[in-house]
Amino acid sequence: MIELEVFRQMGSVSRRATKEMNQAASQYQLENNLFLYLIRIVEHEGLTQSDLAKLIQVDKTTLSRSLKKLDDRGYIDKVTDAQNKNYKQLYPTQKARDRYEVLAKLERQYIKGRLSTLSATELTDLNKILNKILHS
């Protein structure tokens, strides 16, 4: 069954990428996917926890625990939304911005290394296919 094999390969690619990026980010106390949250917060300053959960496709409980770690380690500030007191907006600290440069570079290098064998057409096709799967 080709569908099963393709699906399992997608999972393997994702787990491998996460594992390798977690190893690289662990020197900054950003293990267990904390690097992923930090990158998104820097790239989308002021987003809410709910927005971040949707963006990363993670449950709110896991996200909440991770954000507490980022806050405790001095990477983010949580600011109560002026319009809705129930929402906390997430902002990176200077420490986060400094780490972002290193993490974004690591991410780009990892991606380039893994996708370098694909042509521009193959990358475009892969992007379309993955988007189709993601939004089905």
The pLDDT of residue 134? 85
d(CA 2, CA 99): 41
Q: Which residues pair with 23 in a beta bridge?
A: none
Is the residue at 89 inside a domain? yes
Total domains present in the chain: 1
17: tokens are: 């990428």
Is the residue at 111 inside a domain? yes
d(CA 26, CA 21): 8
The pLDDT of residue 48? 92
- pTM of this structure: 0.86
CATH of residue 17's domain is 1.10.10.10
Q: What is the mean pLDDT of residues 58-85?
A: 91
Residue 91 — very low, low, confident or very high, per pLDDT cuts 50/70/90?
A: very high
Is the residue at 3 inside a domain? no
Is the residue at 59 inside a domain? yes
pLDDT at residue 50 is higher than 80: yes
State the average pLDDT for the chain.
92
d(CA 130, CA 128): 6
Positive or negative, the Cα torsion across 88, 94, 99, 100? positive
Is the residue at 6 inside a domain? no
Which of 37, 107, 104, 103 lies closest to 68, judged by CA? 37
Residues 15-32: tens digit of each pLDDT: 999 999 999 899 988 988
The pLDDT of residue 100? 95
d(CA 42, CA 76): 9
Is the residue at 2 inside a domain? no
- Counting other chains too, the contacts that 112-120 makes at CB distance below 8 Å and 24 or more residues apart are 114/17
Is the residue at 50 inside a domain? yes
The pLDDT of residue 83? 81
Is the residue at 29 inside a domain? yes
Quote the domain boundaries for residue 80: 11-134
